Amino acid sequence: MVQSFQTGNEEVDRQFGDSIPIPSLMLIEGGHGTGKSAMVALFMKGLLDSDKKVLCITENTVKEYIENMKAITYNFSHAFLQNKLTIMPLHVYGIKWNREQSAYLLPVISKYMSNSFKEANAVIIDSLSLLTVFSDATKILDFFTQCKYLVASGMTVIITIHPNDIPPDIAQRVTGSVDVFLQLGATNVAGRDVKTCKIQKLIGAEVKPESSFAFEVDQVFGIKVVPIATANA
């Protein structure tokens, strides 16, 4: 059954046609400093506010992740203490990953996600970089196939990637398989630095979303949409 959730940020929700369909497989692509983690945090807040249990797989430690999100107004401490949010760090203290060990990370995470199905309604991976750096095309395609299976079973999966995380020869197949594909960027308009979100794909929206919008990451408001007229001012 297709449902939807709102982020709680009216400006952002309006850009996505008032709500985002779930369950869905969402891919958010962008370079460093384009607001991927902030956008994911906004989506996570919306899911938690919709009484969804979330598993967040991150390159940060638990403490680092919570503190980093607090810095941009998203406080996940209560959700974490109430077991509504589970944070799984990819970096383990004392372990030095080599190429051979790292190649097994993606299949292991895929298995972990499957085992977490009964405990979590949504899985967020921020980001996929560490998991794909030593993975071949077959492992990456198998991973996204597993993600599609989890979505078909009712789980929402949100993944952030950098532009070169997925080999070019399979990138089109991956982006073609997802339900939501966002491309984030950064630009300067009339001397003002803003971030951009291009909605390349959004399946299941009841209202047609905007094709793109500009935004800032504000320490008080989190994601703040910047009207183009304002950006050009």
Reading the chain (233 residues) residue by residue, the pLDDT tens digits are 568 999 999 999 999 999 999 999 999 999 999 999 999 999 999 999 999 999 999 989 999 999 999 999 999 999 999 999 999 998 755 556 566 666 788 898 999 999 998 899 999 999 998 888 888 999 999 999 999 999 999 999 999 999 999 999 999 999 999 999 999 999 987 788 999 999 999 998 888 887 999 999 988 889 999 986 544 44
pLDDT at 233: 45
H-type helices in the chain, by residue range? 10-15, 36-49, 62-70, 77-81, 99-102, 105-115, 129-132, 137-152, 168-177, 228-231
CA distance 55 to 57: 7
Place of tokens 């935004």: 215
**Would you say the C-alpha torsion 178, 174, 55, 76 has a positive or negative sign?**
negative
Name the architecture of domain 3-92+99-231: 3-Layer(aba) Sandwich (3.40)
CA distance readout (Å), 89 to 5, 78, 146:
26, 18, 21
What is the identity of the amino acid at 203? Answer: I
| pTM > 0.85 | yes
pLDDT at 231: 46
With H, G, I as helix, E, B as strand and everything else as coil, classify residue 119.
coil
CA distance 44 to 63: 17
pLDDT at 27: 98
